[in-house]
Structure formats: C-alpha cells, structure tokens
Structure 1
Amino acid sequence: MSNFQLHPQLIEDCFKVGQFALSEILMMNDSQYPWFILVPRRNHIKEIYQLNPADRQTLQAESCLLAEALAEIYRPDKLNIAAIGNLVPQLHLHHVARYQTDKAWPAPIWGKFASVPYVPTEAEQRINQLREALDQHLVN
C-alpha cells in the first residue's frame, strides 16, 4: 500500500531491515536482545483477526521465515513471538531471541530495563546478517 505509514514510535525505536511481501522488518534499537519486529503494511489494523484471510496466512508465513532465520543466526534458548500493542496500537509482531543468561530471563522483556542502544557498527552488522539470511524472501 503506497499510503502505509509506520507508527511514529516504531520509527523512533527501530532500524529498518527490509521488507517481505506484506510486512516491514524492523530491528529494535536495544542491544540487550536480538529483537526484531514485523509490521504488516496495512493501515488501521490493530489485531491479526482484522487482516483479510490471505494477509493472515502471509503474516504467519513471514513470521515463520523470520523466526527460522533468528533461530539459525542466534541459536536462542527460546524465541518469544508476541503481538502486544498496548503502547503502539499498529499491528506488529515482536520476535525476540532469549537466553537463560539474559538479564530479564525468565520474565518478559517489556518494561523490565531501559534500552541500551546499539553502537552503529553493531547495528549494521546485525541488520546485514539478517538481510543475508532472508535475502531470497526480501522485496524492494
């Protein structure tokens, strides 16, 4: 959709990684966790059930592609996937690689600790690594 706009909070908090057919792929600017977000390019959608059936299936497939790439790259103890949206109502799916050694384990990460922004070179490295893993699935 040409008139799609990301929520301002997602723009402020994230780096753009790329695009799947339906969703924007973002990386949260918090170096404490490998944390990526899918945002379907559909305006005025807050919940998955509000997507049409084809978009629901596409979102599920894109979430699985992202999850598989994160599992391969980061080898987490657990991959947390959630659509919470209490503060940012635009539909978005968090994908967070979790480790038993991370400082929030086993609790959810939301609101636990202040974010620790990436050093620019580290952010670029993580983004490029994910782009390479997803290369055949990304669109312009």
Structure 2
Amino acid sequence: MQAFELDLRLARDTTTIGRLGLCELRLMNDRRWPWLILVPQRNDITEFHDLTPLDQTMLTFETGLVSKALKSLTKADKINIGSLGNIVPMFHLHIVARHDGDPNWPGPVWGHGTVERYEADVSDRFVADIRQVVLPV
C-alpha cells in the first residue's frame, strides 16, 4: 500500500492538528474564520463516492465529531460543511464556524477577500484548543 501523500496546496495553506481514524485534521491558515479541513488519508480519491462505504461512514462520524467540537469551542451561529475540489482535486472536507456579521456573512467563505494569516501564537493556541476537544489523551 502506497503511503498517503497530502496535496502540496493543502500542506501549504493549512496546519496539521492531528490524525483521526480516517482523516488528517488541519487548520486553514486564514484567521477570518475558524476553518478546519478533514482529509481522508487515501490517495487518488477526488469525490466522496470514491471512498469505500466504510470510509464514507468514518468520514461522516469524524465530520460530526469535529463540527460539534468546533461549534462548541467557537460559539458559532452556524457550521458550514462543504467539499468543492475545483482547485485542489484531492478529496477534502471544509468545516467552517460562522458568526452573524463575520466577513461575507451570510455568503460563502470561498473566494471572498484576501487571506489573513494567523500569527503563530494565535494559531498554536487554537490548534491546542481543538486538539484538547477532538483528540483528548
């Protein structure tokens, strides 16, 4: 079996939080929204239906786990979940915490404005908070 290789654009634009059963959990480096990404650790998968039924079930479970934790941690008004893949074809799932009045509310986050990168200490703190809720020791 070939080792999992993360798409270089995902690696460049995100920070590793940790690994779940199926997915690598990552933080999008854009501080305008608390934005997590689940990437199934499977090569050559571009669509949800390309996953095996068992992987689809695991992804659904992990999506629920992460989205519930993100909503609780951020006190979000709404959690947006989506998979586009038009630019990065490797299958990945976006989980974004939205608040009434955030940039482009109630519109989508994709393609809106200019990325605002996290300061390292803020990113590190958020990653640690997510790990504590989603990946307890």
- TM-score scaled by length of structure 2: 0.97
Q: How many residues align?
A: 137
Equivalence for 2:79: 79
Residue deviations 1:9-46 (CA, integer Å, cap 9, x gap): 00000000000010000000000000000000000000
Equivalence for 2:34: 34
- Kindly provide the amino acid, as one letter, of the partner of residue 127 in structure 1: V
Aligned to 2:38, the other structure's residue is in SS state strand
Equivalence for 2:45: 45
User: Within 2, Cα distance between the matches of 1:134 and 1:77?
Assistant: 20
User: Within 2, Cα distance between the matches of 1:94 and 1:13?
Assistant: 13
After TM superposition, give the deviation of residue 134 of structure 1 in Å: 1.1
User: Within 2, Cα distance between the matches of 1:67 and 1:8?
Assistant: 25
Unaligned runs of 5+ in 2: none
Aligned to 1:107, the other structure's residue is in SS state coil
Over the matched positions of the two proteins, sequence identity in percent amounts to 37
User: Within 1, Cα distance between the matches of 2:85 and 2:75?
Assistant: 26
Aligned to 1:71, the other structure's residue is in SS state helix
User: Within 2, Cα distance between the matches of 1:62 and 1:11?
Assistant: 20
User: Within 2, Cα distance between the matches of 1:86 and 1:75?
Assistant: 30
After TM superposition, give the deviation of residue 135 of structure 1 in Å: 2.1
Q: Which runs of 4+ in 1 moved over 2 A?
A: none
User: Within 1, Cα distance between the matches of 2:45 and 2:2?
Assistant: 16
After TM superposition, give the deviation of residue 2 of structure 1 in Å: 5.6
Unaligned runs of 5+ in 1: none
RMSD: 1.2
User: Within 2, Cα distance between the matches of 1:41 and 1:87?
Assistant: 19
